[in-house]
Structure formats: structure tokens, C-alpha cells
Amino acid sequence: MDNNPFLNDYKKKMTDGGSNPPHPDGKRPQDPETAAPGSRRYEEKSDFVPLRTVQVVASDSPRRNRKILPIALAIVLILAIGGILIWYFNLGARVIDLQGLSLSQAQVWAGDKKIHLQVRKVHSDEYAEDEIIDQNPAAGERLKRGDFLNLTVSLGHDLTVTLPIPDLLNMTMSQVEAWAEENYMSKVRITSEYNDKVPAGKVIRFEINDNTVVDMVRRNSPVYVIVSKGSEPETPQSVTVPDFTVMTQDQAEQFAIEHDLELIFLDAYHDFVPKGTITDQDIAPGQVIDSGSVIRLGLSLGKKIVVPNFSGYTRERAASVAAELGIPLLVNERYSRKETGKLISQSLAAGSIYQPGDFLELEFSLGNQVIVANYVGQPLSALQAWIEQYNSQGASLRISVTKTQNNAPRDTILHQDKSNVSLGTDATIRVTVSLGRKVFVPDLIAPKGSGYDSAMTRDKATAICEDLGLIVIFVEEKTEGRLPGEIWHQSVAPGSELYEGNTITLKYNPVRATLQMPDFTGKTPQEIIDEGWMKKLSITFVPAGYLVEDFAGKVFEQSLAAGRTYAYGTAVTVTVSDPAPAGETVEP
């Protein structure tokens, strides 16, 4: 029988149809939540509490979800666009092959790719003026935006080159023209006149207006050559005027020489007519005139280019404007009192007319602040090199040095008053540097009459002084009673204290004597000493540590081959066999 009160009561309720009899004391049973602690009288409840409907509320209502979803998508889109922009602006550009292109074409390309150009101009007979000779980095390499591309650009022919003067008096006009063209002579002018003695086409005389050369002529020396037209005709010849507008200036001048005409060129700017083009003539083509007549020709100077005022332009915009105008440009930067990126100067005055061949230099400011790193623990030369670099760009930084004794290597920076901060370009940086540790100067002079085993040579002195941190200055000076190459004087007395890094001067006897290296094998060290070799060679005896048959107590090996010529004092190492064990007899 089940004695569980809870089950019995539950069965009774089910039998009674779920009725809930009143409590004997007339009170409703306690709610379990309010019952006394530990109470388990759930059976005293009057009825079952029906389950409450619980509405599950999502973290956001559908309407709120509809608001947040577009915002999230917008944030993701913004981040994606930002990432793409960062990637794009750091992507840079792949360098194209600029060799043979003009500087203005390179400037247009560089301006489009946001790349700076660093231009170096050199003369070249192979490349025309303003053509690119070389580039660094090479084509195919990648540059980031803001990086520099170094270009070598042609200045054209070097007109200062000097050449021997040919035998012009024995040349024809065509030979003179060929010589001038072949050697890039820029100021050879050929005129003609009648002459009864010199055949037509031959040179009558010439004149070189250049007193800076003798028996030579420069490419830009004015050379005037007068060519004979032969005997003067009794009556003027008739000449049919050609259409000069289809000729080059050289062709027109040649026609005038051949037909005894005088040309006067009237220069004028034209926006759409290339430079050097003949634009008009005062005598119409087809008219017949006498030889010796004067014809006036209009000659285009090309488009009139006015140099802008670049003071309001950024470096990139200035390069773009100059390229658009066809003005060759070189950009420099230096530190100044102006803000970073501001123009300091321009070589061609604003408002002036640009002349072909001129070169525009713009100088922009790098600002008036620099950041100095911490050089403590580094040599003073490192800070000096940093300052020299910035001063070469217009800064006026200075160093104030205080020296103190310290065991750190000489000239090591121990303290720096300004580091890891931004400074004005005229600031003074105060540093304390080490004088180095103090060392005692050794005695480098051996007694007179010593052999090379105790005499000090340059090699030995150098090794000793390097260990002490002293810098040796050797002076060759002859003295009596000393071996060749032996140190016999030192500038600082032995026992003196010096800071490492200081110099010491050592005088040594000249080494002009030579000898043939003997064969020391089979000799004992004492035999070598007795023969006087210690005053001819710097010999080091090294015991082998083992017995060599037939060489007990004798030399069996030497570092320098016998029979060769060496200087006195040469160092040679000989290896000596161990002596025979006691009681054993070594036959000679």
C-alpha cells in the first residue's frame, strides 16, 4: 500500500472530479512561493493554477529589425569602401619604360600616378634635348604614391666641346655644312659673295669669333664662312620667288644663297604654328625679281608661354601645370621658415616669357620642424651624419659637445638633452660624449742590440696598441744601432695615461735590407740563435708536443719556404720536435 500523502491526496482529488474541499480552518492553502521555508505542502492548494501564456519577445521587434538591418549593411559597405580606398591609395603604380620619351610626357604620367620625379640633367649626343636617357627604378617595378622616380634627362649636345679647326679654305660649301652637322656646330653661318678668283662654291675666307680657344673651335663658337658665287654677272639675274612657307628656315637660306637674295626674318609668336615655321612672305610666290633683292619672311616663335606664379600651387599641381605648358621642371626641397609644401622660390620670374631651352627650378619647403631620434649609446659621428643630412637640405642644426671620462668607447654619446621630440631647424642639440677609458702607455722600445725576439716591430706595436685602443702613426727615420724595422722612439713616455682613441707616434728604422730565407730544418733552436738569425728575422719557436723521428729536439717545419727573398725582420714560425725520452740515444 502506498503511504505517500501527496499521491493519496492527488488520487482523492481525481476521484472527486477535481473539486477542491475547503480547508478545515477555512483558509486557502499557502502558495508554494509564499510558504514557509522548507514547506512541501503542495497538496493543500485548493486547485491547479492554469499555465500562463508566455509571449516570447525577440531581441528586436520586426520593425526594429527592419531599421537596424540597413544601418548594419551601410556600416559594412562603408568599411568595405574604406578598405578599398586604403588599398587603392597604397597600391601605387607599375613603372613604365620612359627611356626615349620627353620629360613633359614623363611629368604627365607621374602626375597622373601621384609619383614625384627627381631629375638629373646630363649632356648627350645620342638623345635629343629633354629626352629621358635612364630611369631608376627600372620599368616594371612598382612605386607607391608619393615615392620618387629618378630620371636622367638629356641636355642635348654639349656645346662647350672643343674640336680641331678643319682646313676650311680648301672645302666646298657642302663640305662645310656636312662638317657642321656631323660635329653639332650650332653657330656656323654661311654667306656668299661674288669673287673673280675663287671658283663658285669654294670658301673665300672664314672668321671665328672666339678668343677662348687656340687652334680649336667650340661647338658654340660663332663661325662665319664666306663662299664664292663666282664672277659677278654683268646684269642682274632674274629669280622666280618660291613659296617659302613650305620650306624650312635652312632651306630658305640655302635658296637665298644660291640665287643671291637677302632674307630678313621677322619673328612673331603664334599659338598654333610650330616654332621655326615660315608663316608669310612680303613678295608673293611666282613673282620674278632681280638677284640681290630683299625678301621679308615671317618666322614663328611658336606658342607664347607666360611663366605662371607657382606660389599658390602644391608640388604636384606645379608639376602638372609646367607639363601642360611644356616647361621643363626640376623640383627641389629644403627646410625653411615656411610651412611644409609652400613654394620658396622659382628660377623663372612669374609673368616672363618662356624661352625654349630655359629650365624652371622650383623649391618647396620641407617645413621648419624635424624629429630627432635618441642617439645615446651610439657614436657621435652618427648624430653628426644625421645633422649634416638635414643641413644639406637647408636646416641649421648644431651640436654642442661636452666630453667626460667614461669606460664607454671614445666619442660614445652618454647623454642627449633633446631626443624623440620635434625641433626647430635652427636648434642646438647638447650631448655628453665619452673620452673613453684611460690606458697606460706601454714601453715599446727594446734595449739597443736586442734581436727580433725582443725588438719591437711595426706589426707587434700595432697589435699591442690596438688592444689598448691607441691609434699608431708610424714615421720612418734612420738611426744607428737598431735593426731594420725596429721601433726606436715613441712620442708618449711609457707609463703615461692616455684616453683610448688618442694617437701615439712611433719612429722605426727603415727596412731596406733583404735576405734569402734559410732552411732551419734539422737545427736546434740554440744553433739558430748562435748563428745570429735572431738579429735578421723575427723567429718564433713552437714546440710540437710530440716526437718526430730523426728530428728529436730539432726544427722539422717552418712557416716560410727556404730560398725565397724576404725583408729583414720578417716573422717566421719554426716548429720544434720534442726531445728524445731520457735514456734513449739519438744518432746524428
Comparing CA positions, the residue from 376, 360, 452, 454 lying closest to residue 417 is 376
Q: What is the DSSP letter of 536?
A: T
pTM here is: 0.43
**Model pLDDT, residue 19:** 45
Q: What is the DSSP letter of 102?
A: B
**Model pLDDT, residue 110:** 87
Asked whether 413 and 432 are in contact (CB, 8 A), the reply is yes
Instruction: Quote the mean pLDDT of the chain.
Output: 85
Asked whether 409 and 500 are in contact (CB, 8 A), the reply is yes
- Give residue-wise pLDDT tens across range 410-450: 899 999 999 999 999 999 999 999 998 899 999 999 999 89
Residue 478 and residue 480: Cα distance in Å, rounded? 7
Using the predicted structure, report yes or no on whether residue 245 has a pLDDT greater than 50.
yes
Using the predicted structure, report yes or no on whether residue 66 has a pLDDT greater than 70.
no
Average pLDDT (355-374) is: 92
Residue 387 and residue 398: Cα distance in Å, rounded? 7
Average pLDDT (389-403) is: 94
Angle between helices 315-325 and 103-113 (to 10 degrees): 140
Residue 437 and residue 29: Cα distance in Å, rounded? 99
Q: Which of 280-289, 396-405, 579-588 has the lowest mean pLDDT?
A: 579-588
Using the predicted structure, report yes or no on whether residue 50 has a pLDDT greater than 70.
no
- Give residue-wise pLDDT tens across range 456-482: 999 899 999 999 989 999 999 999 989
**Model pLDDT, residue 5:** 53
Using the predicted structure, report yes or no on whether residue 263 has a pLDDT greater than 60.
yes
- Give residue-wise pLDDT tens across range 94-127: 899 999 999 988 988 888 888 888 899 999 999 9
**Model pLDDT, residue 200:** 87
Residue 104 and residue 98: Cα distance in Å, rounded? 11
**Model pLDDT, residue 57:** 45
